[in-house]
Chains A and B, each alone.
Chain A
Amino acid sequence: MPTKIEKDVYTGKDTTGHEWDGIKELDTPLPKWWINVWLVCIAFAAVYVVLYPSIPLGTTYFKGVLGWSSTGAVAQSVAAMNARHAADMKRIGQLPIMQVTADPKLKEVALQAGRIAFAENCQPCHGPAGTGRVGYPPLDTNFWLWGGTLPDIQRIIMYGIRSGDAKAHESQMPAFGHDGILKPDQVVLVSNYVATLFGIEKPGPTTAAGEKIFEDNCAACHGTKGQGNQSIGAPPLESRVHLYGDSLAAIEYQVNTPRAGVMPAWHTRLDPATINSLAIYVHSLGGGE
């Protein structure tokens, strides 16, 4: 309840005249330094309003004399980061890829950039450093579905495989089992024959029958000896590396219901310099031709 303003006996200061349950409030002004900080903040805000986007004006707003925007700022800071290698990256993106690798300095920059981009974009499928996993081919051996030269690799990274992109590699192994092109027992016979090519089964009494089915149905794509065909991405079947695993079950599965693995197209997501860097990096992993 308000009381009258009086002098406090202990501090010699006035009270505010407020009193609650016998407790009186001293009239202590705000400290000088505090008020000064407050005034500086107001002055800062006044300057800020002039320099940066601030006052709303109906359908638009005052953009500030500095013309700052968060989108502009990020573009600048990305450019500043890239500036160190800007000239190199520009050439990596523009030169024919064979000329990039001919220049040791450019190649070094490309390998660095490629390694980083690979970890973010490719590793979840192709495994760390392109070691591969079931369904996702290794990129560090000379097992190539579509060819292992720099331009081959570059093209695949750009447009992908069965990615839906107009320039993507396309090819489709028929679903022999699922669509009834081969009867179940024929699927088993031909799969057993392919297993001998893989080297996981010894030739037996049924191998010849399987080989016949293979010649009639599979050799057109996979080659008479299962050596594969890179122009249509038909994997070699006599190699030690396999796309879908090293078992009879995996072979039968593929003959019944082929997977038609998809590799995404990257030219819509990554710039040309990054794509070329990736191609050079992949090529360097061990299998480049």
Chain B
Amino acid sequence: MRLPISQSFIERNAIVLLIATLITVAIGGLVEVVPLFTIQTTVVKVPGIRPYSPLELLGRQIYVREGCYLCHSQQIRNLRDEVTRYGHPSIAAESMYDHPFQWGSKRIGPDLARVGGKYSNDWMYQHLKAPRSLVPESIMPDFAFLARNRLNTKELIAAMQTNIDLGVPYTKGDLKNAQADLAAQADPNADHSGLLLRYPKAMVVQGQGGRVTELDALVAYLQILGRMVDFTDPAVEHALAAQGGK
């Protein structure tokens, strides 16, 4: 059989070869990726998942800026050892509002996907400032300078707006209350009813009288990790069971 474009023709025309290669590879990619957009169980929607509170969101940016992901993953894989150590395997919905997600692949330190609530705020502050004061054999760097850096909140609205553009459902009310929610989460004596209404389970951190530091934001972020979904809730179990398999 004679094809309209023969092998020898493709072999001798670099551009044609390039385009043909691209098409072949693209078919492989599309077949693997496109179905995930339509299959409903790719991201099982479970109760509890919410966007990050303003303070958590900025804390997350510090996490990315300081490269914590270079030593810490945030993904409990479906492996026996990981489940017995870290808890329920991570589900896709838990990082649906993460832009970009922090799954990571390097584990010089432990996985952090469910570190929220594992320690007290006091421990988190002390550990980030001086890890070896609590875990003598730790090789994690000191992040004491974060406690001296005042948190830059000027770009908060822009950051939330960017997340909205990427599909995170912050509402107008969330934007309007953003600065107040941020201040409330960093002040144990403030009124937290609005904050907790918009961002259930948000953990209030220490703050120091109106001065919110980068460390406050980072601790607020760490303290929500893995706490949004309650895996003992029957509704969650039901949603996950519908995912298929036994």
Q: Measuring CB to CB, which residues of chain A are less than 8 angstroms from any residue of chain B?
A: 2, 18, 53, 56, 58-61, 63, 67-74, 77-78, 81, 120-121, 124-125, 133, 135, 163, 259, 261-264, 268-269
What are 24 A-B pairs with beta-carbon distances under 8 A? A18-B8, A18-B11, A59-B39, A63-B245, A71-B240, A71-B243, A74-B83, A77-B80, A78-B84, A81-B84, A120-B85, A124-B135, A125-B123, A125-B134, A133-B134, A135-B122, A259-B122, A261-B120, A261-B122, A262-B120, A263-B120, A264-B117, A264-B118, A268-B232
Please determine whether B38 and A67 come into contact, CB atoms closer than 8 angstroms: no
What is the total number of residues of chain B having a CB less than 8 Å from a CB of chain A?
A: 33
Chain B residue, CB-CB nearest to A262: B120
Please determine whether B246 and A72 come into contact, CB atoms closer than 8 angstroms: yes
Query: What is the minimal beta-carbon distance from B42 to any residue of chain A, in angstroms?
Result: 10
Considering residues A63, A77, A121, A261, which has the most beta carbons from chain B within 10 angstroms of its beta carbon?
Answer: A77
Please determine whether A71 and B134 come into contact, CB atoms closer than 8 angstroms: no
Query: What is the minimal beta-carbon distance from A163 to any residue of chain B, in angstroms?
Result: 8
Please determine whether A71 and B8 come into contact, CB atoms closer than 8 angstroms: no
Chain B residue, CB-CB nearest to A123: B135
| Interface of chain B residues 177 through 198 with chain A (CB within 8 A) | none
Q: Which single member of B38, B78, B117, B240 contacts A70 (CB below 8 Å)?
A: B78
Chain B residue, CB-CB nearest to A81: B80
B28 interface residue per 8 A CB criterion: no
Q: A124-B134, A268-B232 are in contact. Are A69 and B246 (CB under 8 A)?
A: yes
Please determine whether B38 and A59 come into contact, CB atoms closer than 8 angstroms: yes
| Interface of chain B residues 47 through 88 with chain A (CB within 8 A) | 78-80, 83-85, 87
Chain B residue, CB-CB nearest to A18: B8
B29 interface residue per 8 A CB criterion: no
- Would you list the 4 A-B pairs with minimal beta carbon distance, nearest first? A69-B245, A56-B35, A262-B120, A70-B78
